[in-house]
C-alpha cells in the first residue's frame, strides 16, 4: 500500500507543477483554451487519484479548486491577480498535504485542515456572488442563471433552435396517449418557434382507422433545456414513436468545446458524445442496436461505423462525431506514449552508473593487456569490446540526463511572490529550458540559483521610480538562460538593474576587514568580493537579504559540483552571473598525459590542440601561439615532481570560459575513458586537481581541474602585465 501512496504522491506532484505553471502563464496573459483545459485536467487528475487511494481530505480540498477552475474554463470567472493568488495558495496547501503523504502520514492533520479551511474561505467568494451562474446540469451544459441578464430570445433566428423530428406510432392513441399533450408539455421547457405537421403517413379515407395516429411533426424549439430534458418529455411514448433531436447551431460549438475539455480517459465514441451531452443514452442504445443488427446479418462485410449510423439517423451532427473521434484518437495516442514510460528509482540508476564505471575500468585493463600481448586477434576483440562499453556508457549516462527547464519554471512562482513582496514589477524570461544535464547536478543547482535570482530582484532591480528616472522601462527583467559550451553547461542569471557599485563594494570590504586599505585590486577582483563570507552591501536587513549569508554559499555549492561562478556588471545597466558546470559527475572522456611517473587526465572537451614546447621558452611562462599570447603552467613545477625534464616536452592547449591556457606535460598518451572518483577530504584543498581515476594498469591518475589552472594562468598573466606596466612607469619617471 505504501508503494501505491508513493506513486500517487509522485504523479500528483507532477500534476501540481503543471497546475501552478499554468496559473502563472494565465496571469501573464496566456488566454489559450488549452492552457485552462490543461490546468483543469491537472486538478481533476489529482482529485481522481486521491479518491482512488482513499485520501478523501485531499480529494475534498482539490474539489474546491476544480470548481473554480471549471468556472474559469466556461468563462464564468475572469482571470485576476486576486483569483490567481488565491488559487496559488491552494496549490501550496495541496503541496503540504502531499508532503504528509510522502512522509507516510495518510490521515488528516488538524493544523493543516484548519489552514485548508482558511484557504477555502478565501476561495468560496469566487464560487458565489451575483455574477455567478447556476450549477451546471448533468450533461455539463451551463444553464442560464436567474441572476444573469436575460436575452431576448424572440430576436434569435429560428435556425438557432432545437430541431425535433417526431413520428408518432399508429397505436399511440389506442394506448391512451395524446400526441398534443406531449407538445403542450414541451412548452413548459421553452417556446415552439415553428412547427410543421406531417401528413404523408395518412392513408386514403376508406382505409383510415379513427383510433390510429398518422401524424408527425417537425418542430423548431427555442429553449435553454438540455437534450436529455427534451427527450424526457416523450418518455411515455418513446417506444411508440420515432424521435430525432438535433441541437441548435449555437449549441454545436458548446458541444465541441465540451468534447475537447473532457478528462483524458479511455472512452468509446458513443460515451464521449453522451458525456458531452450531444447524444442521449437512449439514442446511443438505439444506434448500437442498429449496428449490432447490421453486424449479425452482414456476413463477411464490414459492419457500419457507429458514427455513420448516428449521423444517418439525424441523432447528432457530423462535426460532433468527427470531434469525438479526434478526442478518442488523441487520448489513445497519449495513453500509448505513457505506457512506454517506466519509472525508475534514482538509486537504481546510480548503481547502474557505478557498475558501468567499473566496466569501463575493466575494459581499459583488458585492452592494455591485449596490446602488451601483441596478439592481433585479441587486440581486435578488445577494441570491439571498448566500442560497446563506450556505447553502454553513453546510454547509461543519457538515462540520468534531464532538461533544466523544469527547474527554471519553478522560479516563475518565486519571481511573482518576491516581486509583490518588494513592491516591484518584475518579469522572468526563460530560454534554453530544453538544455539537458545530469539529474544529480540539477538537484544540487536549485539552491544556488534561488540565491542568485532573489539577489537579482532585491539588490539588482531598482524601484519603479528610480527606473523611470533613469529612463528605463518600469517593469524590471530577470533572465534565466542555459546552453552547452565546450563540454560544460552554462547557466546565466541576468538582470537589467542598477549593476554592482564597485566603490561601495570596496568600501564595505575595507570596513569589514576583508581587504586592507590601499590594497591594489583589479575591477574583477573587487566584484568577486561579493562571494566572500559575511559580505553584504545592504544597509538594512530584510527578509530577503542583508545578513551576509548567501553568495559565499552559492560559490561553495557550485565549486562542490566542480563548477565555477563568474559575474560581469555594468553600473546602471545590470549584472550577469554565469555558472559553468560539468554535464555529468560520473564518467567523462579524458586525454591521458604524464609527468615523470605520474599520470594526469585532462577532460577531452576542453582540449583544443597539442604542440611541442620549444626550448627557447624555458625562461618564461607564455608563448606565441600564431600571434596570440598563450600563458601556460608547468605541472612539474606546480606539483614539485622530482626528476629531470625530458628534452622534448609538450603543451596541451585547453580552453575554459573563453580563455585559453597551456598545460606543459612530458608525454601524451591519447584519449582515455575516465571514471571520476572523488578525492578524500585530505586532498580537498589541493588546487588544480578535480578528482582521480583508475587506469587499466591499476595505477591511480589525477584528473586536472582545468578551471583552476586556467584561472591561475590568467592571474599570473595579469600580474605580469601589471609588473610590465609598472616598470615602464618607473623607467619613464627616472628619465
Please write the tens of the pLDDT for every residue from 503-538.
Answer: 888 888 888 888 888 778 888 888 888 888 777 666
Instruction: Identify the bridge partners of residue 651 per DSSP, sorted by sequence position.
Output: 611, 664
Rg (CA), the chain: 37
**485/683 Cα distance (integer angstroms):** 29
DSSP-assigned letters across all residues of 127-192: T-STTPPPPPPTTSPPPPPTTSPPP-GGGS-TTSSEEEEEEE-TTTTTTT--HHHHHHHHTTTSEE
Average pLDDT estimate for 611-637: 80
Model confidence at 130: pLDDT above 50: no
Model confidence at 222: pLDDT above 60: yes
Predicted confidence band of residue 302 (pLDDT cuts 50, 70, 90): low
Predicted confidence band of residue 548 (pLDDT cuts 50, 70, 90): very low
CA-to-CA separations, 434 to 125, 354, 558, 704, in angstroms, rounded: 40, 27, 21, 30
Instruction: Identify the bridge partners of residue 599 per DSSP, sorted by sequence position.
Output: 594
Predicted confidence band of residue 542 (pLDDT cuts 50, 70, 90): low
Mean pLDDT lowest among 324-333, 343-352, 532-541, 686-695: 532-541
- Look at residue 143 in the predicted model and tell me its pLDDT: 34
Tell me which range, 92-101, 181-190, 705-714, is most confidently predicted by mean pLDDT: 92-101
- Look at residue 585 in the predicted model and tell me its pLDDT: 66
Model confidence at 473: pLDDT above 60: yes
Check: CB of residue 611 under 8 Å from CB of residue 651: yes
Average pLDDT estimate for 168-183: 85
pLDDT top residue among 156 and 425: 425
Mean pLDDT lowest among 35-44, 398-407, 498-507, 678-687: 678-687
**26/87 Cα distance (integer angstroms):** 12
DSSP-assigned letters across all residues of 73-132: HTTSS---HHHHHHHHHHHHHHHHHHHHHHTT--SPPHHHHHHHHHHHHHHGGGT-STTP
Model confidence at 363: pLDDT above 80: yes
Contacts of 677 (CB under 8 A, 6+ apart): 691, 692, 693, 694
- Look at residue 300 in the predicted model and tell me its pLDDT: 53
Check: CB of residue 496 under 8 Å from CB of residue 475: no
Instruction: Identify the bridge partners of residue 670 per DSSP, sorted by sequence position.
Output: 592
Mean pLDDT lowest among 156-160, 367-371, 717-721: 156-160
Please write the tens of the pLDDT for every residue from 58-104.
Answer: 888 888 888 888 888 777 888 888 888 889 999 999 999 998 888 88
Model confidence at 616: pLDDT above 60: no
Please name which of 124, 127, 131 lies closest in space to residue 146, comparing C-alpha atoms.
131
Model confidence at 577: pLDDT above 90: yes
Please write the tens of the pLDDT for every residue from 3-36.
Answer: 778 888 888 888 898 888 888 888 888 877 778 8
- Look at residue 394 in the predicted model and tell me its pLDDT: 82
Model confidence at 296: pLDDT above 60: no
pLDDT top residue among 405 and 275: 405
- Look at residue 615 in the predicted model and tell me its pLDDT: 61
- Which phi-psi region, left, alpha or beta, contains residue 657 (left: φ > 0; alpha: ψ -120 to 50)? left
Please name which of 89, 120, 85, 97 lies closest in space to residue 12, comparing C-alpha atoms.
97
Q: What is the DSSP letter of 671?
A: E
Average pLDDT estimate for 198-218: 85
Model confidence at 543: pLDDT above 60: no
Cell of 30: 496566456
Angle at 593 between CA 588 and CA 598, to 5 degrees: 110
- Look at residue 665 in the predicted model and tell me its pLDDT: 92
- Look at residue 495 in the predicted model and tell me its pLDDT: 93
Kindly report the average pLDDT of the chain as a whole number.
Answer: 80
- Look at residue 482 in the predicted model and tell me its pLDDT: 92
- Look at residue 321 in the predicted model and tell me its pLDDT: 81
- Which phi-psi region, left, alpha or beta, contains residue 686 (left: φ > 0; alpha: ψ -120 to 50)? beta
Average pLDDT estimate for 358-381: 87
Average pLDDT estimate for 416-423: 88
Contacts of 370 (CB under 8 A, 6+ apart): 378, 379, 381, 382
Please write the tens of the pLDDT for every residue from 238-250.
Answer: 788 888 887 776 5
- Look at residue 146 in the predicted model and tell me its pLDDT: 30
Amino acid at each position: 500500500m505504501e508503494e501505491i501512496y508513493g506513486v500517487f504522491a509522485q504523479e500528483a506532484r507532477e500534476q501540481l507543477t503543471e497546475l501552478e505553471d499554468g496559473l502563472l502563464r494565465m496571469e501573464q496573459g496566456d488566454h489559450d483554451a488549452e492552457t485552462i483545459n490543461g490546468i483543469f485536467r491537472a486538478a481533476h487528475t489529482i482529485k481522481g487519484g486521491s479518491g482512488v487511494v482513499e485520501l478523501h481530505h485531499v480529494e475534498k480540498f482539490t474539489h474546491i479548486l476544480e470548481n473554480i477552475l471549471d468556472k474559469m474554463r466556461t468563462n464564468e470567472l475572469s482571470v485576476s491577480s486576486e483569483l490567481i493568488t488565491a488559487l496559488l495558495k491552494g496549490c501550496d496547501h495541496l503541496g503540504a498535504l502531499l508532503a504528509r503523504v510522502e512522509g507516510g502520514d495518510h490521515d488528516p492533520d488538524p493544523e493543516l485542515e484548519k489552514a485548508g479551511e482558511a484557504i477555502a474561505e478565501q476561495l468560496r467568494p469566487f464560487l458565489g456572488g451575483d455574477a455567478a451562474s447556476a450549477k451546471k446540469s448533468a450533461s455539463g451544459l451551463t444553464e442560464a442563471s436567474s441572476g444573469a441578464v436575460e436575452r431576448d430570445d424572440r430576436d434569435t433566428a429560428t435556425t438557432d433552435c432545437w430541431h425535433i423530428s417526431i413520428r408518432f406510432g399508429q397505436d399511440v392513441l389506442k394506448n391512451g396517449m395524446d400526441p398534443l399533450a406531449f407538445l403542450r408539455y414541451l412548452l413548459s421547457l421553452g417556446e415552439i418557434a415553428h412547427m410543421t405537421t406531417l401528413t404523408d403517413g395518412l392513408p386514403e379515407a376508406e382505409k383510415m382507422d379513427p383510433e390510429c395516429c398518422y401524424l408527425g411533426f417537425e418542430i423548431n424549439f427555442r429553449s435553454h433545456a438540455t437534450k436529455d430534458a427534451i427527450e424526457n418529455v416523450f418518455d411515455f411514448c418513446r417506444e411508440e414513436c420515432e424521435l430525432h433531436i438535433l441541437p441548435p447551431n449555437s449549441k454545436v460549438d458548446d458541444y465541441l468545446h465540451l468534447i475537447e475539455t473532457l478528462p483524458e480517459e479511455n472512452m468509446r465514441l458513443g460515451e464521449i458524445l453522451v458525456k458531452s451531452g450531444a447524444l442521449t443514452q437512449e439514442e446511443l442504445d438505439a444506434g448500437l442496436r442498429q449496428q449490432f443488427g447490421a453486424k449479425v446479418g452482414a456476413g463477411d462485410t464490414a459492419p457500419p461505423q457507429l458514427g455513420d449510423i448516428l449521423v444517418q439517423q439525424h441523432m447528432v451532427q457530423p462535426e460532433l462525431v468527427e470531434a469525438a473521434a479526434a478526442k478518442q484518437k488523441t487520448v489513445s495516442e497519449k495513453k500509448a506514449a505513457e505506457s512506454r514510460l517506466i519509472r525508475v528509482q534514482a538509486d537504481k540508476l546510480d548503481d547502474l552508473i557505478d557498475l558501468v564505471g567499473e566496466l569501463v575500468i575493466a575494459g581499459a585493463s583488458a585492452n592494455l593487456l591485449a596490446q602488451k600481448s601483441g596478439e592481433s586477434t585479441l587486440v581486435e576483440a578488445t577494441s570491439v569490446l571498448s566500442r560497446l562499453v563506450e556505447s553502454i556508457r553513453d546510454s547509461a549516462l543519457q538515462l540520468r540526463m534531464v532538461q533544466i527547464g523544469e527547474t527554471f519554471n519553478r522560479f516563475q512562482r518565486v519571481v511573482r511572490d518576491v516581486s509583490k513582496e518588494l513592491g516591484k514589477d518584475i518579469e522572468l524570461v526563460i530560454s534554453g529550458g530544453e538544455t539537458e544535464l545530469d539529474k544529480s547536478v540539477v538537484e544540487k543547482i536549485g539552491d544556488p540559483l534561488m540565491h542568485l535570482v532573489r539577489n537579482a530582484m532585491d539588490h539588482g532591480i531598482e524601484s519603479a521610480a528610480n527606473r523611470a528616472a533613469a529612463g528605463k522601462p518600469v517593469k524590471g527583467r530577470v533572465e534565466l538562460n542555459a546552453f552547452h559550451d565546450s563540454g560544460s553547461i552554462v547557466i546565466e542569471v541576468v538582470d537589467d538593474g542598477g549593476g554592482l557599485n564597485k566603490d561601495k563594494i570596496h568600501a564595505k570590504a575595507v570596513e569589514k576587514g576583508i581587504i586592507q586599505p590601499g590594497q591594489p585590486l583589479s575591477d574583477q577582483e573587487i566584484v568577486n568580493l561579493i562571494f566572500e563570507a559575511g559580505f553584504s552591501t545592504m544597509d538594512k536587513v530584510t527578509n530577503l537579504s542583508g545578513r551576509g549569508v548567501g553568495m559565499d554559499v552559492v560559490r561553495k555549492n557550485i565549486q562542490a559540483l566542480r563548477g565555477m561562478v563568474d559575474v560581469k556588471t555594468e553600473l546602471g545597466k545590470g549584472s550577469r552571473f554565469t555558472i559553468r558546470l560539468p554535464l555529468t559527475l560520473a564518467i567523462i572522456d579524458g586525454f591521458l598525459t604524464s609527468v615523470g611517473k605520474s599520470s594526469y587526465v585532462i577532460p577531452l572537451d576542453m582540449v583544443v590542440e597539442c604542440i611541442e614546447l620549444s626550448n627557447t621558452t624555458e625562461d618564461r611562462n607564455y608563448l606565441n601561439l600564431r600571434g596570440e599570447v598563450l600563458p601556460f603552467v608547468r605541472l612539474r613545477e606546480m606539483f614539485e615532481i622530482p626528476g629531470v625534464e625530458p628534452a622534448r616536452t609538450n603543451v596541451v592547449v585547453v580552453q575554459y570560459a573563453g580563455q585559453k591556457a597551456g598545460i606543459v606535460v612530458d608525454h601524451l598518451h591519447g584519449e582515455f575513458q575516465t571514471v571520476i572518483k572523488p578525492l578524500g577530504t585530505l586532498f580537498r584543498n589541493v588546487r588544480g586537481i578535480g578528482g582521480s581515476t583508475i587506469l587499466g594498469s591499476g595505477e591511480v591518475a589525477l584528473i586536472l581541474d582545468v578551471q583552476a589552472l586556467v584561472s591561475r594562468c590568467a592571474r599570473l598573466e595579469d600580474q605580469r602585465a601589471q609588473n610590465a606596466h609598472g616598470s615602464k612607469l618607473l623607467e619613464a619617471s627616472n628619465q
